[in-house]
């Protein structure tokens, strides 16, 4: 079976973990965490990068920083991972789901203003598949209505919109280094604090609500409980692993882009024949090949397609179950409109294997996909 995902490791992870072992500093914010933070700051231009133990943790920190209070509303897509919404619900906030664009599958910026109410506190766009949302429009809407923008850039490492790195455009940005992402540490993430206003409080929230970071810099003579907080730091072994990946982040992205392009070129014939729709990358957007997906005609075709490829020894998957239709979504959130694009896309989207090393199977995958799509169209 050709797996859907296989985490890429380059070997240097073990070398750096051995160094962390020798350093004897195992808890958070040791030398490897500092290196990773500095790399993220240099790479993205963010004011302050802070590694977290997951992308979910970064989103939770962002929701605390945005001061989401019970009843406050946050506009986001329903077509996303649960953590985007959970971060808001954990503060007592209400996710307000807006439909996605049919081309990029990102939050439809033309529908955001209709969803704004006096309770709206923030906009939480998700850069689906590492393809940037229309950030200049979203930032302009936020400025007009005095809202905070939190980017869910879990897919977005090294991708750009209008020349700027995803996650470093809004007030706050959240990255993930989960093993299914491009640059990984098993579990892991980072908060990018782009707005100076939030830097000091972010440090405190990440350190269990204490001013421990200021204490270590010698700015206060004792550290104490000063605010809300939790434990959001990764340990140094995780950061050591991640550092080996960051050193290779450019070559990882290049290899993924080559795989992505091979799929894209091969499936042009299917799109021309009207049998599938391929991903759309708008002008001014530099993506990072986080994923390759196809949109099939309907749910029945997709189910048969996934089964057919499985029989051919190829594992493909779909996502997301729209959050507004999920049991917890119905309890904790509301929608703005009917979300027809979200519903349609969630029934028709299939993701193909995209991992470093899949190149040697790619011809086999492409042949099987084309044969399956044509057979389903003919039948």
Ligand X SMILES: *Cc1c(COP(=O)(O)O)cnc(C)c1O
152 belongs to the binding site for ligand X (CB under 6 A): yes
Residue placing its CB nearer to ligand X in the complex, 37 or 176? 176
Could you tell me the two tokens for 214? Answer: 């200021």
Q: Which ranges of 249-313 does DSSP label H, i.e. alpha helix? A: 249-266, 268-272, 299-311
Cβ proximity to ligand X: between 176 and 288 the closer is: 176
Calculate the CA dihedral of residues 139, 145, 150, 152 and round it to 10 degrees: -70
CB of 176 to ligand X, least distance (A): 3
**3 state DSSP class of 48:** strand
Q: Judged by CB, which is closer to ligand X: 29, or 152? A: 152
Q: What secondary structure letter does DSSP report for 17?
A: H
Q: From 78-86, 143-151, 199-207, 341-349, give the range in contact with ligand X by CB under 6 A.
A: 78-86
Q: How far is the CB of 148 from ligand X (least distance, A)?
A: 17
Task: Name the one range near ligand X by CB under 6 A: 32-40, 53-61, 158-166, 214-222.
Answer: 53-61
Give the residue nearest to ligand X (CB). 55
Q: Verify binding: residue 95, ligand X, rule CB under 6 A.
A: no
Least Å distance, CB 178 to ligand X, is 4
The angle, 0 to 180 degrees and rounded to 10, between the axes of the packed helices 12-23 and 236-246 is 140
Q: Which stretch binds ligand X (CB under 6 A): 79-87, 323-331, 343-351, 352-360?
A: 79-87
Q: Does 253 bind ligand X (CB under 6 A)?
A: no
**152-197-210 Cα angle (round to 5):** 90
Task: Assign 3-class secondary structure to 78-145.
Answer: CCCCHHHHHHHHCCCCEEEEECECCCCCCECHHHHHHHCCCCEEEECCECHHHCCCCHHHHHHHHHHH
Report the distance separating Cα 364 and Cα 314, nearest Å: 9
Choose the stretch contacting ligand X; rule: CB under 6 A; options: 80-88, 163-171, 230-238, 293-301.
80-88
Least distance (Å) between residue 73 CB and ligand X: 19
User: Do 54 and 178 meet the contact criterion of CB atoms below 8 Å apart?
Assistant: yes
Which residue's entry shows tokens 């940037």?
132
Selected binder of ligand X within 46, 83, 182, 211 (CB under 6 A):
83
Q: Is 155 among the residues that bind ligand X (CB under 6 A)?
A: yes
Instruction: Kindly compute the dihedral angle of the four CA atoms of residues 115, 116, 120, 126, in this order, to the nearest 10 degrees.
Output: 50
Computed from CA positions of residues 72, 76, 79, 82, in that sequence, does the dihedral angle turn out positive or negative? negative
- 68: CB partners within 8 A, 6+ apart: 74, 88, 91, 92, 93, 121, 122
Partners of 152 in the β-ladder = 126, 174
Among 28, 55, 130, 173, binds ligand X (CB under 6 A): 55
Smallest distance from ligand X to CB 154, Å: 3
Interaction residues for ligand X, span 208-237 (CB under 6 A)? none
Is 170 near ligand X (CB under 6 A)? no
Q: Which of residues 189-208 bind ligand X (CB under 6 A)?
A: 189
157/275 with CB nearer ligand X: 157
Q: Which residues bind ligand X (CB under 6 A)?
A: 54-56, 80-81, 83-84, 126, 152, 154-155, 176, 178, 189
């Amino acid at each position: 079976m050709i797996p859907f995902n296989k985490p890429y490791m380059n070997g240097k992870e073990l070398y750096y973990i051995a160094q962390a072992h020798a350093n004897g500093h195992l808890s958070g914010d040791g030398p490897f965490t500092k290196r990773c933070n500095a790399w993220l700051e240099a790479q993205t231009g963010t004011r302050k990068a802070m590694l977290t133990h997951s992308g979910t943790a970064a989103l939770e920190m962002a929701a605390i920083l945005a001061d989401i209070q019970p009843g406050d509303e946050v506009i986001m897509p329903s077509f996303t991972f649960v953590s985007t919404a959970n971060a808001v619900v954990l503060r007592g906030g209400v996710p307000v789901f807006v439909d996605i664009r049919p081309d990029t599958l990102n939050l439809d910026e033309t529908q955001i203003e209709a969803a704004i109410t006096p309770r709206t506190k923030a906009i939480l766009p998700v850069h689906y598949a590492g393809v940037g949302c229309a950030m200049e429009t979203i930032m302009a809407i936020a400025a007009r209505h005095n809202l905070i923008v939190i980017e869910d850039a879990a897919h977005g490492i090294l991708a750009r919109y209008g020349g700027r790195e995803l996650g470093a455009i809004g007030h706050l940005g959240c990255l993930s280094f989960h093993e299914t992402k491009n640059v990984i540490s098993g579990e892991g993430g980072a908060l990018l604090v782009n707005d100076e206003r939030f830097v000091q409080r972010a440090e405190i929230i990440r350190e269990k609500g204490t001013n421990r970071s200021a204490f270590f810099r010698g700015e206060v003579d004792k550290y104490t409980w000063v605010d809300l907080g939790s434990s959001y730091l990764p340990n140094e072994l995780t950061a050591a692993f991640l550092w080996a990946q960051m050193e290779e982040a450019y070559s990882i992205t290049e290899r993924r882009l080559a795989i992505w392009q091979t799929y894209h070129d091969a499936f042009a014939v299917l799109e021309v024949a009207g049998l599938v729709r391929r991903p759309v990358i708008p002008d001014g957007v530099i993506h990072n090949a986080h994923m390759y997906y196809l949109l099939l005609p309907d749910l029945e075709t997709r189910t048969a397609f996934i089964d057919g490829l499985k029989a051919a020894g190829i594992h493909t998957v779909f996502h997301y179950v729209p959050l507004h239709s999920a049991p917890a979504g119905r309890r904790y959130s509301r929608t703005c409109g009917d979300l027809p694009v979200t519903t349609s896309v969630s029934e028709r989207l299939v993701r193909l294997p995209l991992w470093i090393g899949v190149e040697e199977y790619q011809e086999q995958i492409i042949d099987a996909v084309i044969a399956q799509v044509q057979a389903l169209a003919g039948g």
